[in-house]
């Protein structure tokens, strides 16, 4: 398990350079006292491992930008991919909290680059926001966030550029519904355009967080984490195509119930797809990233909860 004695560790994503697993994660000091305050103080940390179980911490690699920036308040969840040019790109969430006394915030997708997964430089001028004609914006509903976070980037299976899945909300949705698989497309990883959401609008999930597409158990799956409108909470999975334009989140199975959250799938050194998730205490405070579990076993045992 990866945990830090004096900091909360929660959402994460993994890059594999072929020899070492690189764990990028959100972290914030426990000296804040209230775990909910971690969202305003999140930084992106880096740790490495050979086996996904024993980790070496390398500290913070990315933090918020200056006043007026799209990551002025905090840096949130993302992903890392390597382009055809050999450069590693981290797509991450930048957030701006608008008021000290409320949770009103605007989220955007930003980019940083690295030649070695260690030193990261933010890409000046790169900001991808929720398109108002396609997705809910701040003020369109009672939700206090403009949801456009947790980017997951992967190459189009037919060779047609790159896809980005994003946590977003459909326009005109009710408070307890409206979660969608937000979507953007790029020909080259550098120029992106927001696209209509993929698949159905959920009537049971207000958000589909930390999306990821994987191939396991002989089929393609799309994973997300969420609390359903009836309170069921954890990591969910649904069968989809390799690009989840047929996503039906209301039919998702519960892969890993609470206290697991923000699950990520990676293939271990034997090529087995395994799921890692962060875990929480009884009050909801994050404890760290748990050891990997075989994804196919989870999927075959996953519950259809109606």
Q: Output the DSSP codes for 7-43.
A: EEEEEEEEEE-SS-EEEEEEEEEGGG-SGGGGGGS-E
State the pLDDT at residue 301.
Answer: 83
d(Cα 60, Cα 108) in Å, to the nearest integer?
Answer: 20
Asked if residue 306 has pLDDT above 60, the reply is no
Other Cβ atoms within 10 Å of 91 Cβ, number:
26
State the pLDDT at residue 152.
Answer: 98
Asked if residue 183 has pLDDT above 70, the reply is yes
d(Cα 92, Cα 153) in Å, to the nearest integer?
Answer: 10
Query: What's the pLDDT band for 217 if we cut at 50, 70, 90?
Result: confident
- Model confidence, pTM: 0.96
State the pLDDT at residue 218.
Answer: 87
Structural domains of the chain in order of their starting residue, each with its CATH number: 8-301 (2.115.10.20)
Q: What is the overall mean pLDDT for the chain?
A: 96
State the pLDDT at residue 305.
Answer: 62
State the pLDDT at residue 201.
Answer: 98
Residue that is written with structure tokens 């309170």 in the block? 231
Other Cβ atoms within 10 Å of 250 Cβ, number:
15
Whether the link from the prior residue into 180 is cis, omega within 30° of 0, is no
Condensed to tens digits (0 to 9), the pLDDT of residues 19-54 reads: 999 999 999 999 999 999 999 999 999 999 999 999
φ/ψ of residue 299, rounded to 5: -65, -45
Condensed to tens digits (0 to 9), the pLDDT of residues 190-213 reads: 999 999 999 999 999 999 999 999
Please choose, from the candidates 278, 139, 299, the residue with its C-alpha nearest in 3D space to the C-alpha of residue 209: 278
Q: Is the dihedral of CA 71, 76, 82, 87 positive or negative?
A: positive
Cβ(183)–Cβ(161) under 8 Å? no
State the pLDDT at residue 250.
Answer: 97
Q: Is 83 helix (H, G, I), strand (E, B) or coil?
A: coil
Asked if residue 165 has pLDDT above 60, the reply is yes
State the pLDDT at residue 184.
Answer: 98
State the pLDDT at residue 303.
Answer: 62
State the pLDDT at residue 236.
Answer: 97
């Amino acid at each position: 398990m990866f945990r830090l004695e004096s900091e909360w560790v929660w959402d994460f994503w993994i890059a594999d350079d072929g020899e070492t697993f690189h764990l990028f994660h959100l972290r914030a000091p426990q000296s804040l006292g209230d775990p909910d305050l971690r969202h305003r103080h999140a930084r992106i940390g880096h740790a490495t491992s050979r086996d996904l179980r024993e980790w070496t911490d390398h500290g913070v690699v990315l933090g918020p930008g200056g006043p007026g920036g799209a990551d002025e308040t905090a840096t949130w969840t993302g992903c890392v991919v390597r382009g055809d040019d050999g450069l590693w790109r981290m797509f991450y969430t930048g957030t701006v909290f608008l008021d000290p006394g409320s949770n009103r915030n605007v989220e955007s997708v930003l980019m940083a680059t690295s030649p070695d997964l260690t030193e990261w430089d933010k890409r000046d001028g790169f900001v991808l926001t929720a398109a108002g004609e396609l997705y809910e914006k701040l003020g369109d509903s009672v939700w206090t966030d403009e949801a456009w976070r947790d980017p997951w980037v992967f190459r189009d299976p037919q060779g047609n550029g790159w896809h980005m899945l994003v946590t977003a909300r459909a326009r005109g949705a009710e408070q307890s519904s409206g979660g969608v698989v937000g979507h953007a497309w790029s020909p080259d990883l550098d120029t992106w355009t927001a696209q209509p959401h993929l698949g159905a609008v959920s009537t049971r999930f207000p958000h589909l967080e930390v999306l990821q597409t994987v191939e396991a158990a002989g089929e393609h799956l799309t994973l997300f984490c969420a609390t359903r409108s009836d309170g069921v909470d954890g990591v969910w999975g649904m069968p989809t195509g390799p690009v989840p334009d047929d996503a039906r989140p209301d039919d998702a199975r519960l892969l890993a119930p609470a206290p697991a959250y923000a699950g990520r799938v990676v293939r271990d050194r034997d090529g087995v797809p395994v799921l890692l998730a962060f875990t929480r205490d009884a009050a909801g405070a994050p404890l760290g990233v748990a050891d990997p579990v075989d994804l196919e076993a989870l999927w075959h045992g996953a519950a259809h909860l109606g």
